[in-house]
């Protein structure tokens, strides 16, 4: 046991020196970390200044709530836009007109076929036939550019002209 005590006494100065060196290194690291922490705290305070929030967690929660509200609003707008696009495709806004002389022996180009269709060529074609003695008006429903009634070449051309509109 005395050998062990004498060994410890001989190495005590080195042991104390090593511990002192370790304490000095840890002290330098603590001072460095403290400086970094103060710098980060100043940046945090600068960032939070004027935001009206007490801490970053509250700010992040508020931002998440706002983001959810924006996403909900965006989804509602997307649905409304899809509904409007569907309705817009059903609007009978494409028009084609073909004027012609229905009776070649009398009159002039006073007869006409007038087609009003949507994107899918659903709609109506109206034809007015004019002669000196009388006038006739016919309306025929259209589904996909076809009618359950026979279509004249002029009516077909009017439908084609309406379908060519952009």
Q: Which DSSP string do the residues of the chain spell out, in sequence order?
A: -HHHHHHHHHHHHHHHHHHHHHHHHHHHHHHHHHHHHHHHHHHHHHHHTTS--SSHHHHHHHHHHHHHHHHHHHHHHHHHHHHHHHHHHHS--EEEEEEE-SSTTS--TTEEEEEEE-TTS-EEEEEEEE-SS-EEEEEEEEBTTB-SSPPPHHHHHHHHHHHT--
User: Residue 75's pLDDT is what?
Assistant: 94
Is pLDDT larger for residue 81 or for residue 152? 81
CA distances from 126 to 62, 70, 111, 149 (A): 61, 48, 11, 12
Q: Residues 78, 49: one domain?
A: yes
Q: Residues 42, 106: one domain?
A: no
Domain residues for 137? 94-163
Q: Residues 6, 82: one domain?
A: yes
Q: Which of 86, 112, 144 is the last residue of a domain?
A: 86
Q: Residues 74, 128: one domain?
A: no
User: Residue 105's pLDDT is what?
Assistant: 66
Average pLDDT over residues 68-84: 94
pLDDT at 48 over 80: no
Q: Residues 145, 82: one domain?
A: no
Q: Which of 64, 86, 108 is the last residue of a domain?
A: 86
Query: Are 164 and 145 a contacting pair, CB within 8 Å?
Result: no
pLDDT at 69 over 90: yes
pLDDT band at 136 (very low <50, low <70, confident <90, very high): confident
pLDDT band at 70 (very low <50, low <70, confident <90, very high): very high
Q: Residues 148, 106: one domain?
A: yes
pLDDT at 53 over 90: no
Average pLDDT over residues 84-103: 78
Apex 113 CA angle, 109 and 114, nearest 5: 125
Q: Residues 21, 66: one domain?
A: yes
The structure's pTM equals 0.48
pLDDT at 37 over 90: yes
Q: Residues 98, 81: one domain?
A: no
């Amino acid at each position: 046991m005395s050998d062990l005590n004498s060994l410890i006494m001989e190495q005590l100065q080195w042991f104390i020196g090593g511990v002192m060196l370790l304490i000095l290194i840890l002290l330098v690291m603590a001072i460095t970390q403290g400086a970094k922490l103060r710098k980060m705290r100043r940046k945090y305070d600068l960032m939070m200044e004027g935001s009206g929030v007490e801490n970053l967690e509250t700010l992040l929660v508020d931002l998440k709530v706002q983001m959810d509200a924006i996403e909900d609003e965006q989804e509602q707008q997307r649905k409304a836009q899809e509904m409007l696009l569907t309705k817009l495709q059903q609007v009978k806004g494409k028009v084609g007109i073909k004027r012609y002389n229905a009776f070649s022996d009398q009159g002039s180009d006073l007869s006409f076929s007038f087609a009003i269709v949507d994107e899918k060529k659903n709609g109506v074609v109206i034809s007015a036939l004019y002669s000196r003695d009388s006038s006739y008006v016919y309306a025929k429903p259209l589904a996909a550019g076809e009618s359950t009634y026979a279509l004249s070449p002029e009516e077909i051309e009017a439908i084609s002209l309406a379908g060519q509109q952009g």
